[in-house]
Amino acid sequence: MNSLSIGSVVLPNRVFAAPMAGVTDRPFRRLCRELGAGHAVSEMVTSRKDLWDSLKTSRRANHEGEPGTIAVQIAGTDAAMMAEAAAYNIERGAQLIDINMGCPAKKVCNKWAGSALMQDEPLALAIAEAVVAVCAPRGVPVTLKMRTGWSEAHKNAVPLARRFERAGIQMLTVHGRTRELGYRGEAEYATIAAVKQAVAIPVVANGDITSPRKARAVLAATGADALMIGRAAQGRPWIFREVAHFLDTGEELAPPLVAEVRRLLLAHLHDHYSLYGEATGVRSARKHIAWYVHELPGGDALRRHINQIDESRVQWRAVNDYFQRLEQQMERLPRVGEASAAAERASTEGVHA
């Protein structure tokens, strides 16, 4: 997967990590890049100025020591506020600004932000124009993530894509579902293909890309310039190198060594604790640990144990001990789809939290 240029920004490959609220913080983005992601966008940052100094926003906007292009996703409903938010984040190091018009969460859409903006095309266009007007003189490209539409009866990604391109948006990511679907059902790729045909700027396909072979199929179906992977990277951040390798060579990589996963997760936890501190770090790390061990032998027992731990050193040690025991059972993780069978086989072989 060769590089991709977005204005003055050159992304090293075309397999990207999707912005996910509560997930794609600095430690997770760093890990995804280490494991092959050519681009990683921050979790969305509010355009509300009164919240910029909040602890939550300051953590989301933390890019200290982050390798690669610093890309910040902003969310809001007011064009002037979104433009101000773009300028604010550029001043703090953002090299690329992404506009959120894809989030389906009720708490976002109820405020007419995220994918709700696709219902108000004039407002959506005004926001794109205002953000571009602020970013262009600073040499910062603007990208935008959206869905196929608000509902099946209101699929307007193609006409909006044309208008966004004329407004100066330099890359579009399209999730192959309407907001109405949320994450239910299966993503469809015909609309993404139609967007690709409608514009000259790069188009990124997103939605249900869960394996290297699915990635190749999505590229073939859409003609997209790049792929964005979200939920499939939770607990499996090496999916980026797996996809990139398969698309480059046609060969599937072996699953990672258990020893490597132990090293990666323990380093991830250290970075996570350093960002969030003791109490919040321990609590928010639980979901990441659960994703890593999902369907692995003894994984459910570890998850239950982890949920009772309130100290980072105890949590870290429990994870380390679990993976050391797992190394005695298997050299590599099972392939996707084989994990349940492996867990069942090993359930009586002494792999416990």
Backbone angles phi, psi at 46, to 5 degrees: -65, 150
What does the CA dihedral 177, 219, 244, 329 come to, rounded to 10 degrees?
Answer: 60
Is residue 310 classed as helix, strand or coil in its secondary structure?
coil
Q: Quick one: which of 64, 68, 99 has its CA closest to 3?
A: 68
Question: What residues are paired with 288 via a beta bridge?
Answer: none
Q: Which strands form 15-17's sheet, in the order they lie side by side?
A: 39-40, 15-17, 226-229, 203-206, 171-175, 142-147, 96-101, 71-75, 45-46
d(CA 200, CA 223): 12
d(CA 104, CA 146): 10
Q: Which of 32, 103, 109, 135 is an active site residue?
A: 103
Q: Are strands 9-11 and 4-6 parallel, antiparallel or unpaired?
A: antiparallel
Is residue 8 classed as helix, strand or coil in its secondary structure?
coil
Computed on alpha carbons and rounded to an integer, the radius of gyration of the chain in Å comes to 20
Tokens of 353: 């939290």
Q: Would residue 103 show up in a list of annotated catalytic residues for this protein?
A: yes
Task: Please give the positions annotated as active site.
Answer: 103
